[in-house]
Homo-oligomer: A and B are copies of this chain.
């Protein structure tokens, strides 16, 4: 029995061939490919295939994994149109995954530029080692439960603000700051009131998140208005955080520039977290297949810190 480590930090909970988060060197690798090499030249479909491909198991199976991954944007786009009282738009067989998401969402074909940006976003966020939602999917898979249960559990974790539920919070904070000129004054005031800067810090990366780097360049290209404000806010946040804790490595995380890219693509901010799920489902399904292929129930211990055994007062002896 080992000592209790809060958050299981540093504990290896699974062996995986799907992705490596190389925090010390700021690298993310998918099955032997560095993320920067995949972000622009590979389609999300290829990356999803790459992640799931090595498994032959039939329960949960590759066809089910493909079905789940394909369903996410269709469900979201239908939900969106229903909210607006619009008729649903069926996917088109001649469009790729990213193009179909935007087509079903808007009811018209998106520009190649928007499609390419969404594809890059989807590729970048498809997997990230043993993050909380992926870990939930693997724990559920370890009980021999079904794929849908694994994915529903993972969604429940992803929506938490400490995981994937916060990218719209980046946008909210930038809206409050308003202008680049206003950034430093607003942010110093905010820190006095213990307000957290949204989009900074990550448990694993000790250098710049490689995904944030690619998304930052994409923001500069596609969303110059956002970029002007965001890059100033980033610079100021890193300066203030360094002043407060010079000993801590501080870095912009993937959520910060995700917000600007998703805005440029034209998605409403309440669709930022579910669009994260549209990408990450490729990783979740791959991890469920990997867990199922060589399964052992994930069942850790707890350390009891309650009172020592004592006798209860039976019902009959109470007033």
Q: Is the CB of B15 within 8 A of A5?
A: no
Q: Quick check: A144 and B132 within 8 Å, CB to CB?
A: no
Partner-binding segment picked from A215-223, A227-235, A304-312: A304-312
Evaluate contact between A2 and B7: CB separation under 8 angstroms: no
Residues from chain B with a CB closer than 8 A to the CB of A5 are: 12
B33 with A312: CB separation less than 8 A = yes
7 extra A-B contacts, CB within 8 A, seeds A8-B11, A8-B299, A33-B310: A15-B303, A41-B315, A132-B299, A135-B139, A136-B139, A143-B159, A145-B160
Q: How far is the CA of A204 from the CA of B304 in the complex (A)?
A: 14
A319 within 8 A of B: no
A7-B297, A302-B16 known; A143 vs B130 contact (CB < 8 Å): no
Q: Is the CB of B16 within 8 A of A12?
A: no
* Distance of A26 from chain B, by nearest CB (Å): 13
- Hey, which chain B residues are within 8 Å of A3, CB to CB? 12
- What CA separation (Å) do A165 and B143 show in the bound complex? 9
A309 in contact with B162 (CB, 8 Å):
no
Q: State whether the Cβ of A112 lies closer than 8 Å to any Cβ in chain B.
A: no
State whether the Cβ of A296 lies closer than 8 Å to any Cβ in chain B.
Answer: yes
A8 touches B310 (CB 8 A): no
Contact of A297 among B158, B159, B203 (CB under 8 A): B203
Which of B20, B135, B311, B315 is A300 in contact with, Cβ under 8 Å?
B135
What are 7 A-to-B residue pairs whose CB atoms are below 8 Å? A11-B300, A12-B300, A15-B302, A17-B307, A129-B302, A132-B297, A203-B299
Q: A152-B153, A162-B142 are in contact. Are A16 and B132 (CB under 8 A)?
A: no
With known contacts A13-B8, A150-B156, A300-B12, A32–B316 Cβ distance under 8 A: no
Given A1-B10, A153-B152: A306 touches B139 (CB 8 Å cut-off): no
Q: A156 near B140 (CB under 8 angstroms)?
A: yes
Q: Judge whether A312 and B41 touch: CB under 8 Å.
A: yes
Bound CA–CA A204/B158 (angstroms):
30
A239 within 8 A of B: no
Supposing A32-B310, A33-B309 touch, asked if A315 and B42 sit within 8 A by C-beta, the answer is: yes
Q: Distance in Å from the Cβ of A297 to the closest Cβ of chain B?
A: 5
Interface residues on chain A, number (Cβ under 8 Å): 83
A6 CB to nearest chain B CB (Å): 4
Which of B19, B300, B315 is close to A43, meaning CB atoms less than 8 Å apart? B315
- Taking CB atoms, residues of chain B closer than 8 Å to A309 are 27, 29, 32-34
Mask: chain A, 102-137; 1 = CB below 8 Å from B; 0 = not? 000000000000000000000000000111110110
The answer, yes or no, to whether A244 is at the interface (CB within 8 Å) is: no
B305–A132 CB distance below 8 A = no
| Whole-angstrom CA separation of A308 from B31 in the bound complex | 8
- Closest chain B residue, CB of each to CB of A315: B41
Closest 10 CB pairs of A and B: A143-B160, A149-B156, A153-B153, A32-B307, A17-B306, A20-B304, A145-B160, A13-B300, A41-B314, A8-B300
User: Which residues on the B side are within 8 Å of A19 (C-beta)?
Assistant: 302, 304, 306
